[in-house]
């Protein structure tokens, strides 16, 4: 069970702007080197090393050794979900501060980005809403289940539902979107959907760590298959 001391320690880790910037950059699901994270955070490599030691020691990041190099990544989907949720909650508090903008990361990242290993942004919220409105997803005690129509729709999207169900992760759950403050689809099903969209060329990864770009083909396919207007 989480204690007040645990929460205070987590708050201290994320309370530093440089550490927060590095964690957010890793929310794209990719592992990045310390030098890359230092540039993103606007700090020196030596300072970044100290911050990364704290983030690894605090259980937020994991180290991925590759030859002589060390890379860093978010330590699991639970940590990623917590970071995304905290971002959304921070946004809910922001309007109380006069002149504080609700979203400061550009329109492209607001439209579509990766939330660890699933899709986030206005695009993802629209997909989630279409799945619920068309009764392809139904709520249950653990998040969502697929209806028979939903099973057929996801197989048509190229998703291997057997593999998704064998995952150790939760099958499908709502994930509070950082920019929209509304749910998008998380869990193993959300990850499989992003993977299928990438494989079929409906979306592609952008130049920024978390950026996802919708292709014209993807807009047409998602509109035709799910009724999503992007």
What pLDDT does residue 163 have? 93
Pairing of strands 32-33, 61-66: unpaired
The answer on 103 and 66 residing in a single domain is no
What pLDDT does residue 101 have? 46
The answer on 165 and 128 residing in a single domain is yes
The answer on 182 and 159 residing in a single domain is yes
> What is the pTM for the complete model shown?
0.69
The answer on 157 and 189 residing in a single domain is yes
The answer on 157 and 123 residing in a single domain is yes
The answer on 174 and 130 residing in a single domain is yes
Q: Residue 153 has which token pair?
A: 């729709």
The answer on 84 and 70 residing in a single domain is no
**DSSP characters over 79-105:** HHHHHHHHHHHHHHHGGGSTT--S--S
Contacts within 8 Å (CB) and 24+ apart, 72-76: 72/22, 72/26, 72/31, 72/32, 72/33, 72/34, 72/37, 73/26, 73/29, 73/30, 73/31, 73/32, 74/23, 74/26, 74/27, 74/29, 74/116
Q: Confidence class of residue 148 from pLDDT cuts 50, 70 and 90?
A: very high
The answer on 191 and 121 residing in a single domain is yes
Boundary (domain end) residue, out of 52, 75, 98: 75
CATH of the domain at 53: 1.10.10.10
The answer on 164 and 212 residing in a single domain is yes
The answer on 200 and 134 residing in a single domain is yes
The answer on 141 and 166 residing in a single domain is yes
Boundary (domain end) residue, out of 14, 46, 75: 75
CA distance 201 to 216: 10
Q: Which residues contact 91 (CB under 8 A, 6 or more apart)?
A: 102, 103, 178, 179, 181
Highest mean pLDDT among 2-16, 105-119, 193-207: 193-207
**What is the number of domains present in the chain?**
2
Q: Confidence class of residue 105 from pLDDT cuts 50, 70 and 90?
A: low
Average pLDDT, the chain: 86
DSSP 27: G
The answer on 98 and 51 residing in a single domain is no
Range of the domain at 190: 80-226
């Amino acid at each position: 069970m989480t204690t007040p001391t645990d929460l205070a320690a987590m708050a201290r880790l994320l309370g530093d702007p440089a550490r927060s910037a590095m964690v957010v950059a890793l929310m794209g699901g990719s592992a990045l080197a310390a030098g890359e994270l230092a540039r993103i955070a606007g700090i020196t490599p030596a300072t970044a090393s100290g911050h990364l030691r704290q983030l690894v020691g605090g259980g937020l990041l994991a180290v991925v050794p590759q030859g002589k190099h060390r890379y860093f990544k978010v330590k699991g989907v639970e940590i990623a979900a917590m970071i995304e949720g905290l971002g959304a909650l921070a946004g809910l508090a922001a309007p109380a501060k006069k002149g504080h903008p609700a979203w400061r990361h550009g329109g492209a990242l607001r439209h579509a980005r990766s939330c660890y290993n699933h899709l986030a942004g206005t695009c993802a919220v629209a997909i989630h809403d279409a799945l619920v409105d068309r009764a392809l997803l139904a709520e249950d005690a653990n998040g969502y289940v697929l209806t028979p129509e939903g099973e057929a729709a996801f197989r048509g999207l190229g998703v291997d539902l057997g593999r998704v169900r064998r995952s150790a992760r939760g099958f499908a759950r709502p994930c509070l979107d950082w920019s929209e403050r509304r749910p998008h689809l998380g869990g193993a099903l959300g990850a499989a959907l992003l993977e299928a969209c990438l494989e079929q060329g409906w979306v592609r990864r952008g130049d920024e760590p978390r950026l996802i770009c919708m292709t014209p083909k993807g807009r047409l396919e998602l509109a035709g298959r799910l009724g999503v207007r992007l």
